[in-house]
Structure 1
Amino acid sequence: MSSPAHAIYSSTLSLSLQGHEFQPQYGVQLIFKETVRSRLLCSAACSQNPSCRIFDYDSSSHRCRLFEADLTNGAIIETASQTSIVGSVILSASLYASMYNQSCSACQGNRYQTCSSTTNKCQCPGNSYWNGSMCPLQLFENAACSQIDACRSDLNLSCVMNSYGEFTQCLIAATTIYTQNFIYNIPSSSECIAWNTFQSTLTSRPYRSMTIKGSNDPTGITLTNPRYVAGIANALLTNATYGPVSSNGYLWVVGPCGYGYELSATGDVCGCSLGYIVRPCIGNVNWGGINGNTCGASSQTMIVIIQ
C-alpha cells in the first residue's frame, strides 16, 4: 500500500498478518506512540517521518507506534490482540541512487534523503549511513560493522578497527589519558608506574585519535588515522613494537626503551631527537619531552590522550 500523504513523502509498505506487533530490540527505537483514528493515518504518520521504518497499529485501542528500526534490530511477533498489524517501509537502491550527493534541490522534501547544511548535498538522514547503494539504519552495540560511520554515534558507538585495519563491531568509544609531571634531571619512578597503568587500561574499544601534548605545547600534535591509533594502542597494551607510520606530518612509533615501551612521534625510539617522545620507564633522566629536547629535558607536564 502507499500512504495518502503528499507524493514526495509517499512510501510503499509491506503489511503483516493481523495479530502481530513489532518488538524493538532497544527502547530508543520507539519514536512515536499516540492514539489515532485509523491505520491509514498511522501509516501516513510513518511516511511523513523520515526516521520511521516500521509502524504497528491496533484498530481496537487505536494505538499507533512508529519505530526507527527494521528487522535487523527488532522482530514482528504474535500478540494477543487480533486487531494489531505491522507495516514495514520497503526500501530499494532505486530510491537513493538518483539523489545521493546531488544538490539539495534533488531531495527537497524527500523522506529518504536530507539536505546537509555543511555540504549542501543530499545525504542520509540522521541515524543512517551510506553503504554505497542506500541508507540503512546505523547499528547498535556489539553489531558487526564494515565501515566507520555504520554505528550509532549519538549513543557514543564507533566501529572498532583492529590492528590490521579491518572494521569489526560497534562498541562504546573509549578515552584513556596519561598525565604526569616530570622534573629536570630526576629519573621517572612514579611516572613509570602511571605509564604502566595507562598501558594496561587500553582496550579493544574503538579509538579514533591520539594526542601528545603538555606544558611545553598545550595544543600538542594529534594522530587522526583510526588504523594507526588502533595499532599504537594495541602495541602499548601488549608491549609490542609498532611503526613507524607516517600521518599528520609525523612518524609515529612504539618500541622498547629501558625498562618499558616508549611512544614517539620522531620516527625512532631510544634516541634524543627533538620533538614529541614519552618514555617514563627508561630508568634514567632521559624520559622524553614535548616540543623540544627529549634527553635531559626541562621540567614539564606530559599528556597522552587516546580516544
Structure 2
Amino acid sequence: MSSPAHAIYSSTLSLSLQGHEFQPQYGVQLIFNETARSRLLCSAACSQNPSCRIFDYDSSSHRCRLFEADLTNGAIIATASQTSIVGSMILSASLYASIYNQSCSACQENRYQTCSSTTNTCQCPGNSYWNGSMCPLQLFANATCSQIDACRSDLNLSCIINYYGEFTQCLLAITTTALVQQSCTVGSPTMLLNLYNPGAFPYTYYTYSYTPTTEQATIMVEIQDDPNAINIDDVSVVDTSSQQLLTNGGFETGSLAPWQHGTTSVGAVTAGCGYSGAYCYWDSIVGQTDNIHQTFSTVPGSIVNVSFYLWSRGAGSVIIARVCIYPN
C-alpha cells in the first residue's frame, strides 16, 4: 500500500544556476520526459513522484525531465540553453528516522517512505535501501557496497561478499545450479587437483592457472575420507585485474551459500578449523565422494588464478581430494 494519489507532498529543493542540465550515468534513471508549462509545475511533478530526486527544466522548450538519481550517480553539466535549470531534492536523516519501521499511518502522506504490504510498516521506496539513518538510492554495477541490499536488484545486481566475508561491490548475480555431474571424473572438466590416498597432511596451499573457454564456469571440490575428514579453506579464483570471482570462498559467512552441495550432502561449514579465519568447509563422508560447487563469471581466453588450502586430517583406507572446473 503506497501513499494516496491525492496526497500533497512537501519537499525542499536546491536549484542550480541557469544554463545547466542533469546528465544521468545510466539511461534507466530517466523516469519522465514530457513538457510542463512552468518550472513550478515541473518541480511539483518531481515532488509528487517518490522516485524523483532530481529534475531539470528548460523554460524555452518547456522540457521537464525527472530522474531517479542523485549527484553520486550523475552530474549537473553546462548546456547551450541558458534557460535550463536543475533542481535537486535536499534529503536528511531527519526525514526518515522517526518514520522508518513505524506503522503505515506514519507514512500515509510522506514521499520519502512507503507502506509495505508485507510488514505493514513504513519502508524505503523501490530502488532504495535503509542504511541505518535514511534511504539512499541503490547502487549500480561496479559501485562499492557495504550491505546486502545496497545494489539494484531489479537489474540483477548483488553486493558481492569476498572470501573474507566482506562486502565488496555490486556485480551481476549468478544463479548457481546443481551440476548434473557429481564427480570430477564425469564429463570433460579441467582437473586441477587429483589426490588419491595421500595420507594425513596439514593445511597445504595449492595454486593453478586456468584459461576459460566460456563466459561462466563452475568450480567443484570433491572429497572422500574413510574414516576421517578433509578440510578446505580460502578457495579463490582471481582474474588478471586481481578481481575475486568467487563469493564466500573462505566460508566466513558461517554458511555454505552461494556454494551448493552435490546430491549427497554430508560436509558442512564448521567453526574453529579455518586456515586464515574462523571457518572452513569440513567433510567426513565415508563410502563415496561428496562435492560442493560454485558458478562464476569468466572472460573466454583470459587466464584466472585458482588457489585453495587443503587439510587431510588423518590417514584412512580411502582418501580422495579432487578440484576441477567445468565450462558452462
The TM-score range, normalised by the shorter chain, is 0.5 to 0.7
Do the aligned partners of residues 49 and 179 (structure 1) sit closer, same or farther apart at CA in structure 2, a change above 3 Å counting? same
User: Which amino acid counterpart does residue 283 of structure 2 have in structure 1?
Assistant: D
Alignment correspondent of 2:26: 26
> TM-score, normalised to structure 2's length?
0.61
Question: Is 2:164–2:250's contact at 8 Å kept on the other side of the alignment?
Answer: no
Query: Structure 1 residue 174: deviation in Å?
Result: 1.7
Change (3 A) 1:178 1:247: closer
Which residue is equivalent to 1:286?
none
Opposite residue 286 of structure 2, the aligned amino acid is: C
CA 1:112/1:188 → structure 2, altered by over 3 Å: closer, same or farther? Answer: closer
1:190 aligned residue = 186
**What secondary structure does 2:179 align onto?**
strand
* Map 1:216-231 → 2, pairs under 5 A: none
Post-superposition CA distance 1:77-134 (Å, at most 9, x none): 0111010000000000000011001011100131000011111110000000111110
Instruction: Quote the Cα distance in structure 1 between the aligned partners of 2:152 and 2:105.
Output: 27
Distance in 2 (alpha carbons) for counterparts of 1:165 and 1:188: 27
Residue of structure 2 equivalent to 1:154: 154
User: Alignment partner for residue 282 of structure 2, among 264, 267, 274?
Assistant: 267
Aligned residues of 2:267 and 2:283 also touching (Cα < 8 A): no
SS in 1 for 2:180: strand
Query: Structure 2: 5+ residue runs without aligned partners?
Result: 193-208, 213-220, 222-232, 239-244, 257-265, 271-279, 294-317, 319-328
Relative to total residues, which structure has the larger strand share, 1 or 2? 2
The answer to whether the aligner puts 1:60 opposite 2:60 as a matched pair is: yes
Q: Give how far 1:177 is off.
A: 4.2
**Change in CA separation of 1:251 and 1:234 when aligned onto 2, cut-off 3 Å:** farther
After superposition, the C-alpha distances for 1:11-62 in whole angstroms (9 at most, x for unaligned) are 0000001000000010000000001100010000000000000000000000
CA 1:163–1:49 in 2, change beyond 3 Å: closer, same or farther?
same
Quick one: distance in 2 between partners of 1:17 and 1:48?
23
C-alpha change, 1:105 and 1:23, in structure 2 (3 Å) is same
Structure 1's 172 and 144: CA in aligned 2 closer, same or farther, altered over 3 A? same
User: Which amino acid counterpart does residue 282 of structure 2 have in structure 1?
Assistant: G
1:125-177 CA-partner distances (Å, limit 9, x unpaired): 00001111100001111111111111111011111111111111111112344
Amino acid at match of 1:272: V
Taking the aligned partners of 1:152 and 1:83, their CA distance within structure 2 comes to 34
1:252 corresponds to which residue?
269
Alignment of 1:138-177 (within 5 A): 138-177=138-177
Alignment partner of 2:291 out of 278, 281, 301: 278
Contact 1:96 1:113 in 2 (8 A): yes
1:119 aligns with 2:119: yes
Q: Distance in 2 between matches of 1:42 and 1:33?
A: 10
Give the match for residue 299 of structure 1.
none
Secondary structure of 1:99's aligned partner: coil
CA contact (8 A) 1:162 1:231 kept: no
- Once residues 57 and 50 of structure 2 are traced to their aligned partners in structure 1, the CA distance between those partners, rounded to angstroms, is 18
1:47 alignment partner, SS class: helix
2-side partners of 1:130 and 1:30: how far apart? 23
2:102 paired with 1:102: yes
The code of the aligned residue for 1:33 comes to N
Give the superposition deviation at 1:180. Answer: 3.2
Alpha-carbon contact 1:244-1:251 (below 8 Å) kept: no
In 1, the alpha carbon distance for the partners of 2:38 and 2:253 equals 61
User: Secondary structure, in 3 states, of the residue corresponding to 2:17?
Assistant: coil
Is 1:129 the counterpart of 2:129? The answer is: yes
Higher relative contact order (CA 8 A, sep 6+): 2
Equivalent pairs, count: 235
- Normalized per residue, the structure richer in helix is 1
- The 1:9–1:143 alpha-carbon spacing in structure 2 relative to 1, beyond 3 Å, is same
Q: TM-score, normalised by structure 1?
A: 0.65
Q: What is the match of residue 9 of structure 1?
A: 9
Match in the other structure for 1:225: none
Report if aligned partners of 2:108, 2:114 keep a CA contact under 8 Å in 1.
yes
RMSD: 4.0
Relative distance call for 1:195 and 1:36 in structure 2 (3 A) is farther
Question: Tell me, which stretches of 5 or more residues in structure 1 are unaligned?
Answer: 203-211, 213-229, 254-264, 281-294, 296-307
